[in-house]
């Protein structure tokens, strides 16, 4: 009774099934790879925006410190950063051992993380700032200040940097 039915029903061969699995797997793999690149790009944009926020905070504190005569002149020859002390005053934290050129030209920032700890509450150093950013201000000796942030990029294989130049009459 089922002999005639079995001859008329045709199924897929094992080769056709394997080819379908390969096509579906390739499509899914490409979709995941694209999604991963998009996620990394989004994270890199978030890190850059966060670094910009930290640098802008340094510039705003510098503006306030200069207008309220908090910053002493001459400013430190080494890079420095500003922080809010426990008494809500703006303080200058020097970053000794870093000449201006060290931050501009060097791609090895390992020495930046081994400096003596600045005062508590100081937002200058990696670990003190969420996201592991290093923040500094460099005064060129005239009226120009360069506020910078350095951080390990989203892949962790290199450093990224953002900087803002600020001109202030002292």
What are the structure tokens assigned to 8, written together? 């008329």
pLDDT digits (tens, 9 = 90+) for 1-50: 555 555 555 777 889 899 999 999 999 999 988 888 888 888 888 889 99
Question: Dihedral, CA atoms, 137, 138, 144, 147, nearest 10 degrees?
Answer: -30
**How many whole angstroms separate alpha carbon 127 and alpha carbon 111?**
14
The three-class DSSP label of residue 160 is strand
DSSP conformational letter for 128: T
pTM assigned to the model:
0.66
Q: Give, for 80, the enclosing helix (H) or strand (E).
A: strand 80-84
Q: Which two tokens stand for residue 128?
A: 């003190």
What would the pLDDT profile of 95-118 be if each residue is shown by its tens digit?
A: 765 554 444 434 444 444 444 444
What mean pLDDT comes out for the span 58-86? 78
């Amino acid at each position: 009774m089922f002999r005639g039915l079995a001859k008329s029903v045709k199924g897929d061969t094992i080769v056709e099934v394997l080819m379908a699995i390969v096509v579906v797997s390739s499509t899914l793999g490409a979709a995941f790879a694209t999604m991963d690149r998009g996620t990394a790009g989004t994270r890199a944009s978030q890190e850059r925006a966060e670094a910009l926020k930290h640098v802008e905070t340094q510039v705003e504190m510098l503006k306030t410190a200069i207008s309220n005569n908090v910053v002493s002149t001459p400013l430190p020859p080494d890079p420095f950063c500003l922080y809010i002390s426990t008494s809500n005053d703006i303080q200058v934290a020097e970053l000794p051992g870093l000449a201006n050129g060290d931050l501009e030209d060097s791609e090895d920032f390992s020495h930046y993380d081994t400096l003596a700890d600045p005062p508590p509450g100081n937002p200058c150093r990696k670990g003190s700032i969420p996201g592991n950013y290093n923040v500094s201000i460099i005064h060129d000796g005239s009226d120009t200040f360069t506020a910078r942030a350095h951080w390990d990029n989203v892949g962790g294989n290199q450093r990224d940097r953002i900087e803002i130049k600020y001109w202030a009459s002292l």
